[in-house]
Amino acid sequence: MKHFYIIILLALLAACGSKQQEEAAEPSALELEMTTLYGENKVIEGEYPDSLAVEAANGVFVGERDENLLTFKGIPYAIQPTGKGRWQVAKPEPDSRLVREAKYFGHSAIQQRSPVNAASLYPQGEDCLTLNIWTAAEGMRTARRPVLVWIHGGSYVSNGTVNPRNWGDQFVKVHPEVVFISLNYRLGLLGFLDLSQLPDGKEYAKSGNLGILDQVEALRWVRRNIAAFGGDPDNVTIAGHSAGAGSVALLASIDEAQGLFKRAIMQSGSVAFTSSREDCQRLTKRVVDATGAKTVADLQALSQDEIIALNNKVGEFFRFPERDGVLIPEDPYSRFDGFNAGIDMLIGSTADESRYWIDAMDGEENFGIAVQLWYRYISTSLDSTQRENASRFLDVVPRDNPWPVAELFNDLMFRGPAIEMAQRHAASGGKTYMYYWTKALSDPIYGACHGAEVCYVLNTGRQIKNGDHHNPFLAADVQRMWVNFAVTGNPSTPVHYWPAYETTQRATMVLGDNILLENDPLAEQRKLIAPLMKEYISPIFSDLLDKAPWYAGIAIGTLIAVIGLLVWLIVSIRRLFKKKTK
């Protein structure tokens, strides 16, 4: 019976893929918008306005001004990982006095194109290691402002800084006391492909986590150069959503990033968004099988166009950063037991995370089927006690919830890991603040789904699912909380006192149309989900696709058997009918 469920889910996923391909053929207003944004930053050989220029270690960058806002886009923070640099750890650019424009976003990292992913519709390239800075012009030369570094999400395979939902312009216009930075990093096959087991793979031992190491290099650039843009290198907060939040959690957990930032904000992402070495090798095998490559040298010989085609072919079988035991511990939660106690943390999730994927499942009905199948799939990795916990969890979900299993998904993938990190960090003496986002989108189908809070936090006005950003009071309060945290390490405001999270009261700020402080919300669900946190259950549906050949064989055999049974029934009925007529 389990095989039957997997076959259904595979069919659903295939149908969704076909739908996306059909949609991709249609012209997109979003694609036109990305086209108008594109340009290449050029070397400036003549005169340039000093008021728009900032000297960094690797060059002089000339930005643009809009009233009191200075913007610098597409600044390279490392030598671009092209040619022999492919699948190698990024290195800093050499010191330079070269004068360059900083008017245009850099290339998006290589990723699958999608009509709903703005960054994928912008020109892509391996030369994607760039960052963008928004800073207030007034007093920039002498200011030492808190710095907020935003790391975009996208499951480590998509998105980028050119996506308007990741811009910092409107944020800094309202909060000129903060310098805002966004950065690109390598994604998918170029950022998270473990090549260490190939015959010549020793020189590529860190290839499974290059995207995280790119972020480390960007933070090194920030520490060395941000003072010239009015920022304080000793007061840097890193923040992100989804995979961006997972990146923040990992950066707080690795030796290489220590001392590069002071505070961390994790919105719907955690160290649970990681893969085992075994899982990562499964992706490597797919790449080798798809290309016929025997060595890394064979893969290095592929052109960028061939890499793009390869990513399109096997990119759906993506993996998260690798728990390799070298860069990322095999138990990354353990780093929240004291290793990163000196980092202030703000952590949280949304009430209806999984409803973000209703569209990906082609509607509510298919979504309901998919989460049920997902539940049956992950149940196979749980022991009897854990399965009993999961079953009891479903019993305590309110009866008016149309998808109780989706609530389990929310807690297992998002809220549970957030609490696990928060309580460990708090217990080890770290300063921790917890939130729970309940403000729903304008379409009630989606509820407070994954990413519902981002437009409020960044003040972009670009709500996901074409939702309305219609509560300016909530936006103002939330931004003030995030800014206060970046400035002082405490998100409290004069109106809303926000105490630190600890393992007895478990104070949590509930952020919705009404902002209120609640101790240990959904306590019973928390207790039931806690024993499952060590399972690292992957939400990647390609784990099911990895088994596709086997299940396809079962499906074909089942179909043949069903057809045979139908033929037998038809023949038998016809014979019986003939006997009766005689």
Round to whole Å and give the CA distance between 498 and 314: 45
Round to whole Å and give the CA distance between 561 and 505: 59
The identity of residue 383, as a single letter, is D
How many Cβ atoms sit within 10 Å of the Cβ of residue 136? Answer: 20
CB contact at 8 A, 411 and 533:
no
* 238 exposure class (CB count in 10 Å sphere: 0-12, 13-18, 19+): buried
Q: How far is CA 364 from CA 15, 354, 360, 408, 447, in A?
A: 14, 12, 10, 17, 13
Pair type for strands 59-62 and 53-56: antiparallel
Q: What is the DSSP letter of 349?
A: E
CB contact at 8 A, 307 and 189:
yes
Of 386, 391, 403, the residue nearest 535 (C-alpha): 386
Round to whole Å and give the CA distance between 41 and 400: 54
Q: How far is CA 19 from CA 7, 22, 364, in A?
A: 18, 5, 15
The identity of residue 110, as a single letter, is I
CB contact at 8 A, 87 and 193:
yes
Rounded to the nearest 10°, the torsion over CA 420, 421, 424, 425 is -160
Of 462, 453, 352, 456, the residue nearest 401 (C-alpha): 352
**Active-site entry in 196, 207, 242, 253:** 242
User: What is the phi/psi pair of residue 518, to 5°?
Assistant: -135, 135
Round to whole Å and give the CA distance between 413 and 166: 23
Rounded to the nearest 10°, the torsion over CA 469, 473, 474, 478 is 110
| Cα angle for residues 398, 402, 408 (degrees, 5° grid) | 65
How many Cβ atoms sit within 10 Å of the Cβ of residue 291? Answer: 18
CB contact at 8 A, 12 and 370:
yes
Q: What is the DSSP letter of 260?
A: S
Query: Catalytic annotation on 242?
Result: yes
CB contact at 8 A, 501 and 434:
yes
* 141 exposure class (CB count in 10 Å sphere: 0-12, 13-18, 19+): exposed
Q: Which residues are catalytic?
A: 242
